[in-house]
Structures are given as C-alpha cells and as structure tokens.
Copies of this chain bind each other. A is one copy, B any other.
C-alpha cells in the first residue's frame, strides 16, 4: 500500500512513484508514436487514405468505458474483500486472545498468563504469519520458528497447507483443554466459533487468490482497449491535425491506466505498490497479542519500501 500525502497543485502531474504510469509507459509510447506517424502521413497508409470519423469511437467508447468501469468495480471489490478479511483477522485474533485469557485455565492468576494460554495465543500469531506467506507463496519458516514448540516445527514445514495445519493443531489443543477440564464445554464451543471464523478467513483469501476474473472477460476488454487506442489517430487526425498524438496520448493514458489498475487490484495479496500491506497488518496483530500477554518486547512496524507499506 502506498503511504504518501496526496501531492497538490502542479506536483500532481510529476508524481511518478505510485502512479500506474510505470506499468503502461511502453504501450503508451507505442501508441503515441503510431499517432505521430498517422499525423505525418495524414492518415494515409500505402497511398490509401484511411477514411475514418470520430463516430465509431463514440459508439464503442461508451461501451468500453462501461465495461472498464465494471471490471474496475469487480477488481476493487476483490481488493476490498481481501482487506475486509484481513480486518476480520485483526478482530478475530484479538477476540480469540481475549477468550483464551478469559475462559481457558481460569485457575491462573490474571496478570501473568499460564504457559498453555501463552502457547495458544502464540499459535494464533503463527496462523497470521503463515497465512501471509501462504498467500504470497513465500517461506514462513523463519517467522514461525519462535512461535511454535520445537517438535511441531518440522511437521508444520511438511504440511501442504500450513495455515490450515496450524488451525488444526489449535483444534487439538482445544480438545486437550476439554479432556483435561481446563475449560467449560460452553466456552469450548465459543472458542470453536472463532476458529471457524479463522477458517473462513483462510478460505476467503484462498478463493480470491485462486479464482481470477474470468479470463475471457479480461481478454475482451483488453483487446477492445488496444484496438480503440491504435485506431484512434485515424479518426482524429482530420480534425485535430498536429494535436492528434497529444490527444491520443491522454485518452490512451486513461484507458490503459484503468486497464492496468484493474489488473493490479485483481490480485491484492502480492508485493506490488498498490497491494495490501499484509506484513504490516500481521505485525500489528503480533504487537496487540503480545501486549495482551503482558510482554513488552513488541515487534517494530515494518520499514517502508519506497513509499510502500508491504
């Protein structure tokens, strides 16, 4: 996520970092060069004047704008749903932590948590980091090591779906609590509901990651945008003359930009500048939960990479 003040005035036009311009500069240049060639030849190709008016662009432009708009809404909905799931993760892990400290091992003295309580809360933190690495396809080994008991590290390493494995061991832990009467059945069911909620978050994130917007849709919008921008100079050159490349540049910037932005928001869990700051959120959760355990050695917020929070 890009963390910077909105530039004002003229600087707005010269902000490059965080702009979508980086991803579309190649095709924007090609389009403008093409427009320049069309302008210089007055729209003539191999001695044949290409007869074109702005009318077709008006007809197709409305459709294109509406469909780009739809694709953008769908991508943004995925982005925002991803954010909601991670917001829910913040909420659920805090609730789970509060419930573990309130309902499990209630014989312990409140200010200092019992070893079992600490172990369970650590597992919730481990789930958060494992989910982050699972979505970004990176290795969670280093982050998980200090949070899991030694004998479980290797088994977690071997698991196909690491966050799910951690969730199951939380379930097993809960089972042991029940068997050893360290919690009341009623509270066990209440804790189990929050485990369900974690499973829901995991499943929701996997759904967003694994199912993109249907390929045929993206392809259709893509192709229409390209054809539109490549043909546009022929339609404008007769009335706009030497201004054609400039105007084509602006219009292409809008359409290519929105197309590229749709691509960027469609998969919100990566490490690109506009993606969600999963690392920062995971560290916030770790900080909140360690604070609730009474620890004082809290993790630092992650450094900015460029202007971006990862």
Complex Cα distance, B202 from A9, in Å, reads: 35
Q: Does A302 have its Cβ within 8 Å of any Cβ on chain B?
A: no
A271 within 8 A of B: no
Most B Cβ at <10 Å: residue of A72, A215, A247, A261: A215
**Pairwise interchain contact B261-A216, C-beta atoms closer than 8 A:** yes
Interface size on A, residues (CB 8 A): 120
A242 touches B292 (CB 8 A): no
Q: CA separation between A19 and B69, bound complex, in Å? A: 21
> How far is B67's CA from A187's CA once the two chains are assembled, in angstroms?
49
In the complex, A152 has a CB within 8 A of chain B: no
Complex contact A215–B69 (CB within 8 A): no
The stretch from A10-18, A120-128, A131-139, A141-149 touching chain B is: A10-18
Q: Flag if A196 contacts B2 (CB, 8 Å).
A: no
A115-174 CB contacts (< 8 Å) to partner B: 159-161, 164, 167-168, 171-172, 174
Contact of A295 with B by CB under 8 A: no
- A1–B239 contact, CB under 8 A? no
Copies assembled = 5
> Does any Cβ of B come within 8 Å of A219's Cβ?
yes
Q: How far is the CB of A180 from chain B (nearest CB, A)?
A: 12
Contacts of A240 in B (CB 8 A): 51-53, 55-56
With A257-B220, A288-B164 known to touch, is A236 a contact of B55 (CB < 8 Å)?
A: yes
The answer to whether the Cβ of A41 comes within 8 Å of any Cβ in the partner chain is no
Q: Known A184-B185, A273-B216; judge A12-B95 contact (CB<8 A).
A: no
Min CB distance, A100 to chain B, in Å?
A: 10
Taken residue by residue from 78 to 93, chain A's Cβ proximity to chain B (1 for < 8 Å, 0 otherwise) reads as: 0100011001101100
Using a CB-CB cutoff of 8 Å, which residues 47-81 of chain A contact chain B?
50-70, 72-74, 76, 79
Q: Residues of B contacting A273 with CB < 8 Å?
A: 215-216
Q: Which residue of B lies closest to A2 (CB)?
A: B215
Which interface residue of A68, A90, A287, A288 has the most chain B CB atoms within 10 A? A90
Interface flags, A91-125, vs B, CB<8A=1, else 0: 10011001101110010001000000000000000
Closest 8 CB pairs of A and B: A91-B203, A87-B207, A2-B215, A63-B65, A98-B171, A102-B175, A51-B241, A54-B55
